[in-house]
Amino acid sequence: VAQPDQFDALEDLGVAADVLAAMRRFVADADDADLINIDPLEFADHHGLREAPTIDAFLHATRHGLFDMAWNVVCPDCGGILSEAVTLRQIRKPELGCSLCDRTYEPDLDASIAVTFTVHPRVRAIRGHRPEEQGVMEYMRQHYLGPTLALPRGAEFEHEYAKFTRWHGVLPPGGVATIDLEIPGGWTIVQELQLHAAAIVELTGARADERRETTFAISHAGMTPSRRTLPPGPHRFRIENRTDHRALCQITDANDALHEMMGRRKSYLTGKQVVTNQTFRNLFRSDVLDLDQGLKLRNLTVLFTDLRGSTELYDRIGDLAAYDLVRRHFGVLGEVVRENDGSVVKTIGDAVMASFPTPVGGMGAALAMRSSMAAFNRGRSDDALVLKIGMHAGPCLAVWSNERLDFFGQTVNVASRVQSIARPGAIVATAGVALDEHVRSLLAAAGATPIPHQATLRGIRDEVTVFEVPPAE
């Protein structure tokens, strides 16, 4: 049962009223299965809500103890959840293996980390809070398959599951199951879901009429054997649970139905979207990452601003007045960054460093910064603040540095250098930003034509092509 007083507290924090109403109803009425690993993007879509305020609402609600947030490392190939970390700093393994796909991956925040929310037991108890009591199919649907897949629900999932599953069962510690199967050929997978242990069995060659027995042993190290080639025909599979906890086992055929389910991809809330989210930065300030952790981002858009002639400004109007003006301009830029789904990483003197999940977020913010500053300056022509903006997109590391979530790498250096060559009022971007198709549409719609030219950036050996959006008239 929902606790209205807890949700009321969120309203006072500025969480959007329509999202809050939908969230309150959902927590009260939804099936248990829908309250585990909620993807805010799917929630927004399902309830006809805007994404940004929905993400904000889930972050606030988590901070208030109404939901638990999980950073799921998801297999890019099959969509299975390889590891469920409660916090960002728990994503430790440099490489994660998917035994089903027989591949290893280095987790990166863009493509293999999905952030989900599960209702807190204090708010509503659901079956998903006690996976140790769930059967194989329910566990598979709620804990194994990830938020990157558009999965059917309830009876429809059971129907789909039956199309590729030959057998499933729960084995007690030390337990053994004996399963007789007739396998005509192809690929069959023996799996234990909690350990992500799997044996991939290829049935090939001439059919053998005599029943053959094969033993698969589950231990904490995985499944032994992990691969087997057998002839088509009658088989007896013995599955032994050599662990000290119950094992959730299934035998599935790698058939079209399985591939079809794993191919149903949908958009989801990525780790990158969260680490570049201003609400996340504000609410989850401390100990987000370990000092030595460094998580990979494939493509982050980094924007820097600086002010024209701030030295003269301080000289002309004095430290106190100038400081006040600069501080208020930080407020304006911070608002613009947030509205474009980015976050302010830090301020350095009069400069701002901001991060965005996409190039179009960065360019949208840059254009809005210029118009917002024009409004800010109105009626103050003497001490008008004029921005010089630069940005670049590329791979970098998310790191914990100087008590904050920061970004590190050559992408950040280049973004800063690009800013340093911007004329007052201009926006300068590298090709990765300026030639992005969404950025091109945005600039075309704004009537701005980026002008390419070659530039030498301090500390960068080769000349680079940069694109300037000239100062607005």
Contacts of 422 (CB under 8 A, 6+ apart): 388, 389, 390, 428, 468
Beta carbons of 235 and 121 less than 8 angstroms apart: no
The smaller minimum CB distance to Zn ion, of residues 126 and 258, is found at: 258
User: What count of Cα atoms within 13 Å lies in the side-chain half-sphere of residue 230?
Assistant: 29
Q: How far is the CB of 100 from Zn ion (least distance, A)?
A: 5
Q: How far is the CB of 78 from Zn ion (least distance, A)?
A: 3
Q: How far is the CB of 106 from Zn ion (least distance, A)?
A: 14
Contacts of 445 (CB under 8 A, 6+ apart): none
Beta carbons of 433 and 392 less than 8 angstroms apart: yes
Site string for Zn ion, 94-133 (x = CB under 5 A): ----x-xx--------------------------------
Q: How far apart are CA 76 and CA 267, in angstroms?
A: 13
Shortest CA distance to 36 belongs to which of 46, 44, 45, 27?
A: 27
Q: How far is the CB of 74 from Zn ion (least distance, A)?
A: 9
The smaller minimum CB distance to Zn ion, of residues 73 and 307, is found at: 73
The smaller minimum CB distance to Zn ion, of residues 139 and 280, is found at: 139
**Tokens at residue 342, please?**
């980015």
Q: How far is the CB of 153 from Zn ion (least distance, A)?
A: 22
Q: How far is the CB of 148 from Zn ion (least distance, A)?
A: 11
The smaller minimum CB distance to Zn ion, of residues 41 and 96, is found at: 96
The smaller minimum CB distance to Zn ion, of residues 67 and 144, is found at: 144
Residue with tokens 């054997």: 225
SS3 sequence, 67-118? EEEEEEEECCCCCEEEEEECCHHHCCCCCEEECCCCEEECCECCCCEEEEEE
Site string for Zn ion, 343-372 (x = CB under 5 A): ------------------------------
Q: How far is the CB of 80 from Zn ion (least distance, A)?
A: 5
Q: How far is the CB of 195 from Zn ion (least distance, A)?
A: 14
User: Residue 89 burial (CB < 10 Å; 0-12/13-18/19+)?
Assistant: middle
Q: Would you tell me how many other CB atoms lie within 10 Å of the CB of residue 381?
A: 7
Site string for Zn ion, 65-84 (x = CB under 5 A): ----------x-xx-x----
The smaller minimum CB distance to Zn ion, of residues 149 and 415, is found at: 149
Give the DSSP per-residue string, 195-245. Answer: TTEEEEEEE-SS---S-EEEEEEEETTEEESSEEEE-SEEEEEEEEE-SSS
The smaller minimum CB distance to Zn ion, of residues 77 and 106, is found at: 77
Q: How far is the CB of 178 from Zn ion (least distance, A)?
A: 28
The interface region with Zn ion, picked from 93-101, 156-164, 275-283, 317-325 by CB under 5 A, is 93-101
Q: How many residues bind Zn ion (CB under 5 A)?
A: 7
Q: How far is the CB of 319 from Zn ion (least distance, A)?
A: 58
Site string for Zn ion, 387-416 (x = CB under 5 A): ------------------------------
**Tokens at residue 301, please?**
């858009």
Shortest CA distance to 57 belongs to which of 279, 271, 266?
A: 279
The smaller minimum CB distance to Zn ion, of residues 58 and 161, is found at: 161
The smaller minimum CB distance to Zn ion, of residues 80 and 394, is found at: 80
Instruction: Answer yes or no whether residue 189 interacts with Zn ion by CB under 5 A.
Output: no
The smaller minimum CB distance to Zn ion, of residues 82 and 353, is found at: 82
DSSP state at residue 33 = G
Q: How far apart are CA 179 and CA 168, in angstroms?
A: 10
Q: What 3-state DSSP class applies to 405?
A: strand
Helix axes 4-12, 17-29, angle to 10 degrees: 160
Q: Which residues bind Zn ion (CB under 5 A)?
A: 75, 77-78, 80, 98, 100-101
